[in-house]
Structure 1
Amino acid sequence: MGLITAPHDLLQLHPHWTEAEELQHVPSWVHVSLQQTPWVVVRRAPALEGQVAVGVRGQERHLRQALNIPASLIVQKVTPEQLIASQFDSNLQTASANDRWDSMPVLQALKQLYSHWHNNQMIWGPTGSAGFELATGHPTLTMTSDLDILLRCSQSIDRVRAEQLWQQTLDLPVRVDVQIETPYGAVALSEWAKPATDRVLMRTLQGPVLVKDPWNPRLA
């Protein structure tokens, strides 16, 4: 069985990535970025068998490159939930404490969210800039970075519970964007937490769709 990946997983590339045909005709900044930090993030997009849809981060926010790469180039996979497990212990202390945790508001927010959620038996973790920095060690966060969170929910959660979880993100020092990952796609926690909302936008491999039930979209 080949490597199984999911959107927002972070993938470290083999040093021979420079020889991949898929990377021969990309903007020069892509090579500069990968030479510095040879990691990519899995995109929510279809890919041919043996390939993975990924994105490359540039030094500036607007620099993003979508690619399909051979799975054979991947030497390590890190999931958002693995980042939580590796960064925190039962005493709410970071496993790799350093000045970044004290100086970056988004990491302070992650600590606080962990204190709210660590006993909930939920599967979750950071994505976006926070996830990338924690996985790679490469400083990508800024003082104005948002905190992006992935919450995996194979079973449905009702809107009352969603609102409780969402409320726990509102007192954090940065804006928090939580995406609920269902077996069919992802919806924003902030949207699912609104009881008056009839349909919510779900991101799928085929593109965005409006659904009534993210865990049973065929009934929408």
Structure 2
Amino acid sequence: MNMATTRMRTPQPHDLIWIDDPEAFVAGEPLPDWADAAWLARAPVVVRRDQASDGRIPVGLRGRSRAQRHAAWLTAAQCARVMSPDAIARQARWRDHPRLAEIPALRELSRVAPRLDDRQLEWGVTGAVGFALASDIDVLHRGSDVDLLISCPTALSDDETQWLGALIDGAYEARLDIQVATPFGAFALRERMRTGGRVLLKTATGPVLCADPWQPA
């Protein structure tokens, strides 16, 4: 697999992690039947927002269907490879995906990716599309959404917010959802556009309702 990986990097929410020893992980965790060692040898887990006092990494396991989700914890020693959403975007594997003509989400991503690059935004692909592109496990269907993550250490300008909002509204091949990551957490751009400001900021210690996600109370 042509994989852009990062070693010794602190995993961030939405990163994908391949487990070093799936057999040992399965033996040490109470897991659903579908999350067996054979599946986890292929399928990465997704870093989620949570925290543990012992430094373990909060992850979510996903199977082939939406109903197959499970929260778990991973130690740094169990991380074989880490792949970030922006690394998935840089690979741009949707361009030659064998189901490009069949899956609307892949065509929508093909349409919006050059526009995001032109704006020089730091963006990445998450959700089912990101999982499928990174792992070569086909979990996509005609109703799949396009989930993107925009990293914004400083506040979006009004122009950038309006431009991204128009990008969401202009999606026609598949639903487009954008999460904006700030130094304190992440929020849904669609919600901010709807409310005009106040959003539910997802943080490692739980959701926070705030008017300014770059300066939460």
- What TM-score, normalized by structure 2, do the two folds share? 0.88
The equivalent of 1:161 in structure 2 is 160
- The letter of the residue matching 2:89 is I
The amino acid across from 1:10 in the alignment is L
Corresponding position of 1:119? 118
Which consecutive unaligned segments of at least 5 residues does structure 1 have?
none
Cα deviation digits, residues 172-191 of structure 1 (max 9, x gap): 21111100000001111112
Q: Do residues 83 (structure 1) and 88 (structure 2) align?
A: yes
Instruction: Note if 1:5 corresponds to 2:11.
Output: yes
Contact 2:43 2:137 in 1 (8 A): no
Note if contact 1:200-1:212 (Cα within 8 Å) is conserved in structure 2: yes
**In structure 1, what is the Cα distance between the partners aligned to 2:211 and 2:40?**
44
> Contact between 2:58 and 2:74, CA under 8 Å: does it hold in 1?
yes
The structure-2 alpha-carbon separation of the partners of 1:51 and 1:22, relative to structure 1 and needing over 3 Å to count, comes to farther
Superposed CA deviations along residues 100-119 of structure 1, whole A, max 9, x for unmatched, are 22221101011111122111
- The equivalent residue for 2:183 is 183
Q: How many residues align?
A: 210
Aligned mates of 1:2, 1:48 — CA distance in 2:
20
| Deviation per residue, 1:106-138 (Å, 9 max, x gap) | 010111111221111111111000000011011
Q: Is the 8 A contact 2:128 2:144 kept in 1?
A: yes
Structure 1 runs of 4+ with >6 Å offset: none
**So what's the TM-score if we normalise by structure 1?**
0.87
Distance, in Å, in 2 between the alignment partners of 1:5 and 1:162 is 27
Is this contact kept in 2: 1:8–1:42, CA < 8 A?
A: yes
User: Residues 15-35 of structure 1: CA distance to partner in whole angstroms, max 9, x if unpaired?
Assistant: x22113774421111116734
Structure 1: distance between partners of 2:8 and 2:155: 28
> For residues 146-180 of structure 1, what are the alpha-carbon distances to aligned partners after superposition, in whole Å with 9 as ceiling and x for unaligned?
11111100110134421211211222211111000
Runs of 5+ unmatched residues, structure 2:
1-6
Could you tell me which residue of structure 1 aligns to residue 109 of structure 2? 110
Residue identity in the other structure for 2:17: L
Aligned Cα RMSD in Å?
2.1
Aligned sequence identity (%): 30
Q: Secondary structure at the match of 2:45?
A: strand
Contact 2:18 2:80 in 1 (8 A): yes
Aligned counterpart for 1:28 among listed residues 30, 33, 37: 33
